Amino acid sequence: MVETQVRKLRLEKGLSQEQLAEKAKVSVRTIQRLESGQDVSIETLNLVAGALSVEVKDLFTDQKTKKEEEKISHSNNQLQYQLEKRREEYQTIIKFYKATYVLLMFSSVMLVTNDIWAGINIDGMFATFWIFGWMIMNPLQKLIVMTIVDPKLDEKYPLTMNRLDKDHE
């Protein structure tokens, strides 16, 4: 049996076992086992730590055995690795999206400078395209991140699922 601080941390945050289980995306029984000191997996520790906004090492009392410390260290290393990879992938997706936006805006310049638009204020037209493009593309980016990117990255990097800092440093 391993004594944990989960109950204390949960109560400090004002959460019930059910609320913590929902936030950590684990069962209530898992929270009960963790609070009673029964051994749980590294993934579960990471999920609960993320839900409580603490590091895995903070879930345990200061009286740790060498085996427990190795387990915690390994768990933290796995989490940091997944966070780093997730952030890299997220940044790549965002850079691609922004490049696509710029490409669309410059394509609009080509459309505006075409002979079809002869006699129209090109500067004003370009500014209008740019502003309306930004007004459409910015919310669209947030929607794509929430509905497509985040769920796929959560599936690929499960330890980062409940982290508030998962998509930025």
Predicted local distance difference test score (pLDDT) of residue 100: 92
Inform me whether the pLDDT recorded for 88 exceeds 70: yes
The domain spans of the chain are: 6-64, 82-160
Spatial CA neighbour of 21 closest among 42, 8, 39, 35: 35
- Across-strand partners of 4? 60
Which token pair is 55? 């590091």
pTM value is: 0.61
| 3-state helix vs strand vs coil in the chain, percent to 5 | 75, 0, 25
Residue owning tokens 């940091």:
80
C-alpha distances out from residue 94 to 48, 54, 64, Å: 28, 28, 42
Inform me whether the pLDDT recorded for 1 exceeds 50: no
Q: Which CATH number fits domain 6-64: 3.30.70.20, 1.10.260.40, 3.90.1150.10, 3.90.660.10?
A: 1.10.260.40
pLDDT 10s digits, 128-167: 777 888 899 889 999 999 999 999 999 999 888 888 777 7
What interhelical angle do 42-52 and 28-35 show, nearest 10?
A: 100
